[in-house]
Amino acid sequence: MAILTLALKSLWNRRLTAVLTVLAIAVSVMLLLGVEKVRTGAKSSFANTIAGTDLIVGARSGATQLLLYSVFRIGNATNNISWASYRRITRHPDVAWALPLSLGDSHRGYRVLGTTAAYFDHYRYGRRQNLAFEAGKPFEDLYDAVLGAEVAKALDYAMDDPLVITHGLGAEGFQKHDDKPFRVVGILEPTGTPLDRTIHISLEGMEAIHVDWQGGTRVPGLTVSAEEARQMNLTPKSVTAILIGLKSRFATFGLQRQINEDRREPLLAILPGVALQEMWDLMGTAEAALSAISIFVVASGLLGMLIMLLAGLGERRREMAILRSVGARPLHIFGLLVAEAALLTLVGAILGLALLYAGLTIAQPWIVAEYGLFLPIEAPSNRDLSLLGAVIGAGFLAGALPAWKACRQSLADGMIVRM
Amino acid sequence: MDMAGVELSELRFRWTGTGPLILDIDAFAVEAGARIFLRGPSGSGKTTLLNVIGGVATPQTGRICIGETEITELSPAARDRFRAERIGFIFQQFNLVPYLGLIENVTLPCRFSAQRREKASASRSLDQEARRLLTHMQLDPAELAGRSVATLSVGQQQRVAAARALIGSPDLIVADEPTSSIDADAREAFLNLLFDETRRTGATIIFVSHDTGLTEMFDRTVDLASINRAAPMQKHAA
């Protein structure tokens, strides 16, 4: 206790360098745990987004790309699937349900998804949980919209509020489908997945807002009002992707092969779990590199502390001699330096943790909006605590070197040091 | 009240096994409660002798007894404990721990010795005893309390160090040239204050100094070169 008090007072006496050292350690700990949070957050967020879907079908591209744009709303499709192919797949005897996805438009930065009402019955997330409505019901009318929980919260939308869809994905696009406004008829409960940031409309609704558009712009001289569109044939010509549930899982590989070998249209069918694993494998190297960088940053923070303690030893020889003269044992001298290192590391680690959570609280909405990545603010995991323990342990070890040196020095100096 | 004399016999000390002999003392004794002025030129082994008496350095041969305790028989840890309990030190300068306050510096030995803490707080609280000693050393604790000890004058710092050496009434006070940084006028006053307190507790004082002008204030003067055969001859002659 005496040594701990002395260590505290000694650090307070050198508070400027101590604070800078603590900050260096705190920033490095924040980075280390932040990388861990992003890594685990991304994995759980991705893994929880889709469940119970056996196959995802899109235009032929890469499995990861298809997974990213169809499920996670990241990136864009390179091509669409024809309506005929969609119809063929739905009629396949092994298919229990098929959910068409039509993407490409947005509303104030949130993606708009055109699909069928069956989506709300068949889509599963997390541990095969169903979508549930916080308010309202699935869309029925052509211009009905169902909002993800976060959209409603962030944009402060309530039932029956109107909303105008923007053509394309810009946060504030120039070209708006303002002649055909939608109406909020349902708000989903939070899922912690990209669905929370999605506005769901019917495929026909999606088609309706594009009847007087061609090649991404309005057709000059052609204006179709919202009511006129209701009378038109709104069967889509194409969709972006299809989520498929099979009657039997044994049919998965057979149907996947049939779709991938379809000569009528180049399509790609993927198994979500396999594609997700491929994505982790792809990210593994980047993950390892990030972890290595953050470990080096922690090491540099601890090295800074080591330099501070070692640099101060010369001018502290008198202090050690005085302590020896009043009865301090070499072990006390060793303990004093180790306690200083441990306190710096401990405070740095706690501050780093606090900074991480403060940063998460501030940046969470932005990370979600910008990267579609939901990083939950929850208690540190066992792995987080293990990492913190390792950092504090490393701090103790780093303190042992100057402590050992001070101990040796005090044994050599004795009580009387001529400065 | 414990009183302790110091007795050295057949003492041989080298800093390293093959290094030169620094101390070679056949016999040296200080009576309990005596005030000894130990003088000697640089290199005569004064500092080494103080380290040996303090139990920080261990002689290769010989005995050192402080009171009834033969400290050469003690383990290093026990010697450290003995030092904390029974000996008070005052150095030439830079006596104080810069990050501790005035009272904390005075009570510092009590952090390392429960026995000394008990003795210091036998009749009043530890803080009160520290204040009493500071006041006795003609310092105003209330006035100086808020100041960093580094801002005290050298004379004030020496008096704080004396209060620290005296707290808990150790049996032996070892002072290594404590007056060398103080004005000539203040030296006698400093010693008088020190002696007043040790007279009350009965502590033995070993006072090391070059300043022979102070010898009259002591019971006995010992020239280290005369008892340490390892002291260089030319310095012995000086």
DSSP B182: S
Contact list, B112 vs chain A (CB under 8 Å): 2, 326-328, 332
**B171 lies within 8 A of chain A by CB:** no
Q: Which of A54, A57, A24 is nearest to A265 (CA)?
A: A57
Residue B235's pLDDT is what? 43
Q: How confident is the model at residue A372 (pLDDT cuts 50, 70, 90)?
A: low
What lies within 8 Å, CB to CB, of A386 at 6+ separation is none
- CA distance, residue A312 to nearest chain B CA (Å): 13
Q: Which of B178, B127, B125, B176 is nearest to B154 (CA)?
A: B178
Looking up tokens 């893994």 gives A47
- Quote the ipTM score: 0.84
Region A150-175 average pLDDT: 84
Cβ neighbourhood burial of A322 (10 Å; 0-12, 13-18, 19+): buried
Contact list, A418 vs chain B (CB under 8 Å): 47
Measured torsion, CA atoms of residues A378, A384, A388, A391, in degrees rounded to the nearest 10: -140
C-alpha to C-alpha distance for B197 and B125, rounded to whole angstroms: 18
C-alpha to C-alpha distance for A113 and B125, rounded to whole angstroms: 78
Retrieve residue B214's tokens: 């102070």
**B84 lies within 8 A of chain A by CB:** yes
Q: Which of B108, B97, B181, B149 is nearest to A315 (CA)?
A: B97
Q: Does pLDDT of B236 surpass 50?
A: no
How many alpha carbons fall within 13 Å on the CB side of residue B68? 2
Contact list, A319 vs chain B (CB under 8 Å): 97-98
Query: Mean pLDDT lowest for which of A53-62, A287-296, B56-65, B181-190?
Result: B181-190
**A324 lies within 8 A of chain B by CB:** yes
Region A10-39 average pLDDT: 91
DSSP A316: G
Angle CA B173–B178–B184, to nearest 5: 135
C-alpha to C-alpha distance for B101 and B131, rounded to whole angstroms: 12
Segment holding A387, helix H or strand E: helix A382-413
Beta bridge partners of B11: B25
Region A325-353 average pLDDT: 91
Give residue limits of the domains in chain A: 2-45+283-413, 55-270
Q: Does pLDDT of A7 surpass 60?
A: yes
C-alpha to C-alpha distance for B14 and B23, rounded to whole angstroms: 7
Q: How confident is the model at residue B232 (pLDDT cuts 50, 70, 90)?
A: confident
Q: B4 and B53 in contact (C-beta within 8 Å)?
A: no
Give the residue, A326 or B232, on which the prediction is more confident.
A326
Give the domains, in start order, of chain B with CATH numbers.
6-237 (3.40.50.300)
Residue A174's pLDDT is what? 63
Determine the angle formed by the axes of helices A15-49 and A330-371, rounding to 10 degrees. 40
Q: Which of A52, A50, A66 is nearest to A191 (CA)?
A: A50
Query: Mean pLDDT lowest for which of A56-65, A294-303, A337-346, A410-419?
Result: A410-419
Q: B51 and B89 in contact (C-beta within 8 Å)?
A: no
Retrieve residue B99's tokens: 């990050």
How far out from the chain centre does Cα A294 lie? 18
Region A356-364 average pLDDT: 91
Question: Residue B96 and residue A322: Cβ atoms within 8 Å?
Answer: yes
Q: A316 and A406 in contact (C-beta within 8 Å)?
A: yes
Contact list, A322 vs chain B (CB under 8 Å): 91, 94-97, 108
Retrieve residue B90's tokens: 């005052």
- CA distance, residue B108 to nearest chain A CA (Å): 7
Q: Does pLDDT of B186 surpass 50?
A: yes
C-alpha to C-alpha distance for B21 and A383, rounded to whole angstroms: 59
Cβ neighbourhood burial of A379 (10 Å; 0-12, 13-18, 19+): exposed
Region B176-192 average pLDDT: 82
DSSP A416: -
C-alpha to C-alpha distance for B59 and B52, rounded to whole angstroms: 7
What lies within 8 Å, CB to CB, of A308 at 6+ separation is A17, A18, A21
**B76 lies within 8 A of chain A by CB:** yes
Residue B238's pLDDT is what? 36
DSSP A176: B
Cβ neighbourhood burial of A217 (10 Å; 0-12, 13-18, 19+): exposed
Highest mean pLDDT out of A138-142, A167-171, B141-145 = A138-142
Residue A77's pLDDT is what? 85
The model's pLDDT over A69-100, given as tens digits with 9 standing for 90+, comes to: 998 888 888 899 999 999 999 999 999 999 99
**B237 lies within 8 A of chain A by CB:** no
What lies within 8 Å, CB to CB, of A417 at 6+ separation is A317, A318, A321
Contact list, B98 vs chain A (CB under 8 Å): 13, 319
Region B184-192 average pLDDT: 82
Q: Which of A96, A78, A98 is nearest to A86 (CA)?
A: A98
Residue B237's pLDDT is what? 39
Q: Exposure pattern of A264-275 as b/e (b: 16+ CB <10 Å)?
A: eeebbbbbbeeb
Q: Does pLDDT of B204 surpass 80?
A: yes
Give the residue, A372 or B218, on which the prediction is more confident.
B218
C-alpha gyration radius of chain A? 30
* Average pLDDT of chain A to the nearest whole number: 88
Residue B145's pLDDT is what? 78
Looking up tokens 């699937």 gives A81
Segment holding B120, helix H or strand E: helix B114-120
DSSP B183: -
CB atoms within 10 A of CB A383: 12
Sign, CA torsion A15/A17/A20/A24: negative
Sign, CA torsion A327/A333/A336/A342: negative
The partner residue sitting opposite B109, judged by closest CB among A5, A14, A326, is A326
Residue B1's pLDDT is what? 40
The model's pLDDT over B2-50, given as tens digits with 9 standing for 90+, comes to: 456 899 999 999 888 788 889 999 999 999 999 999 988 877 888 888 8
Contact list, B104 vs chain A (CB under 8 Å): 9
What lies within 8 Å, CB to CB, of A378 at 6+ separation is none
- CA distance, residue B77 to nearest chain A CA (Å): 7
* Average pLDDT of chain B to the nearest whole number: 86
Query: Mean pLDDT lowest for which of A51-55, A370-374, B168-172, B220-224?
Result: A370-374
Sign, CA torsion B72/B179/B204/B233: positive
Region A164-174 average pLDDT: 73
Question: Residue A2 and residue B111: Cβ atoms within 8 Å?
Answer: yes
The model's pLDDT over B107-124, given as tens digits with 9 standing for 90+, comes to: 999 988 888 999 888 888
Strands B204-208 and A124-125: unpaired
